[in-house]
Amino acid sequence: MSGKQAVTAHAGGPGRGMVILGAHGQLGRALAKALAGLGPVQALGRADCDIGDEAAVQAMVRRLRPGVIVNAAAYTAVDKAQTERDAAFLINALAPGYLADAALSVGAWLVHYSTDYVFDGTATRPYREDDPVAPQNVYGKTKRLGEEAVLARPITAFVLRTAWLYDREGRNFLTTIRRLAAQGPVRVVADQYGSPTPVGSLAEATRAILAHPHAAECAGLYHAACRGTVSWHGFAEAIVRSCGLAVAVSPIATADYPTAARRPAYSVLDCGRLAQRMGIVLPPWGQALADLFGEGP
């Protein structure tokens, strides 16, 4: 990178204003709250800016000239992506490149999110950022291409791979289990392991990254998920307990719950790089879940 490019890239930052894309998704909503104290925030939903429309992205960035672009928009329907490949490819693989080009044009930083599903799940210890990727489904493949598109541009970019996102509202594993458990016993896959991460914890980690005094020097690829490992079954049991419900949660095998997309059996992320370089650590998954229920309505 030339000196001139470096100066331009580092001129971004939250003080110049932040734009959140996909602001009505579960992570987008949490980001709008968490980043508010750092500087002016523009929270844009799909109707305000379709990230798959390159001209619309460029026009938005020229108009707002943000210091940081935070991309919470994605094609996240993992099973549907198997048959809607073009849509998933546009939003997850091409659009991050449009955002990175737009960031370059105004010297903005870019925060982009990726997934534990870039890995094949055969590891026996948590995955590090430089472990080989081998996505097993269309969603994971398109998300990997999106990572590459962002990291290839000479910009200050933070690509955060996260996992098993949920919140107290919206459509996610927690709300699904809560709804099903209110009706009766539930059966949940017990042979896939990961790290459930509430969107609030990831949004808070994003805030800490952007607020870090040497943020620009720390740009790169990071794993950002809650600590610890649990199966979907173990997570469901914890949710049911937290809701005060007394229904049975039975373990089943992945083979007993066929889905269109294959999922990694083990996709725990080693988040040591984020801790070592920036001093940012997400809470253990169980504590994060308890905190979410402790927040009140």
Ligand X SMILES: NC(=O)c1ccc[n+]([C@@H]2O[C@H](COP(=O)([O-])OP(=O)(O)OC[C@H]3O[C@@H](n4cnc5c(N)ncnc54)[C@H](OP(=O)(O)O)[C@@H]3O)[C@@H](O)[C@H]2O)c1
121 lines the binding site for ligand X (CB under 6 A): no
Residue 213 gets which letter from DSSP? T
Residue 284 gets which letter from DSSP? B
Residue 288 and residue 179: Cα distance in Å, rounded? 20
Cα-based distances in Å from 137 to 17, 25, 103, 118: 36, 22, 29, 9
91 lines the binding site for ligand X (CB under 6 A): yes
- The nearer residue to ligand X, 8 or 60, going by C-beta atoms, is 60
- The nearer residue to ligand X, 8 or 100, going by C-beta atoms, is 100
Question: Residue 168's closest CA among 135, 200, 132, 208?
Answer: 200
Closest approach of Cβ 292 to ligand X, in Å? 15
Near ligand X by CB under 6 A: residue from 18, 73, 88, 236: 73
Residue 194 and residue 190: Cα distance in Å, rounded? 11
> Candidates 6-14, 20-28, 126-134, 255-263 — which segment interacts with ligand X by CB under 6 A?
20-28
Enumerate the β-bridge partners of residue 109: 68
> Candidates 48-56, 100-108, 261-269, 284-292 — which segment interacts with ligand X by CB under 6 A?
48-56
Closest approach of Cβ 7 to ligand X, in Å? 30
Q: Cα(first)–Cα(last) distance of the chain, in Å?
A: 49
Are the C-beta atoms of residues 203 and 27 closer than 8 Å to each other?
yes
Near ligand X by CB under 6 A: residue from 12, 52, 198, 200: 52
- The nearer residue to ligand X, 103 or 163, going by C-beta atoms, is 163
Closest approach of Cβ 235 to ligand X, in Å? 12
74 lines the binding site for ligand X (CB under 6 A): yes
Q: Who contacts 244 (Cβ-Cβ below 8 Å, separation ≥6)?
A: none
Q: What does the longest C-alpha to C-alpha distance in the chain come to?
A: 63
> Could you say which of 75, 98, 113, 139 is catalytic?
139
For residues 275 to 294, the per-residue mask of contacts with ligand X, x marking binding by CB under 6 A and - elsewhere, is: --------------------
89 lines the binding site for ligand X (CB under 6 A): no
222 is catalytic: no
Bin 179: left if φ > 0, else alpha if -120 < ψ < 50, else beta: alpha
Residue 119 gets which letter from DSSP? S
Please count the residues of this chain forming the interface with ligand X, following the rule CB under 6 A.
24
Question: What part of residues 146-205 is at the interface with ligand X (CB under 6 A)?
Answer: 162-165
- The nearer residue to ligand X, 8 or 172, going by C-beta atoms, is 172
Near ligand X by CB under 6 A: residue from 8, 76, 195, 201: 76
264 lines the binding site for ligand X (CB under 6 A): no
Binding site for ligand X (CB under 6 A): 21-22, 24-28, 46, 50-52, 72-76, 91, 113, 115, 143, 162-165
State the catalytic residues: 139
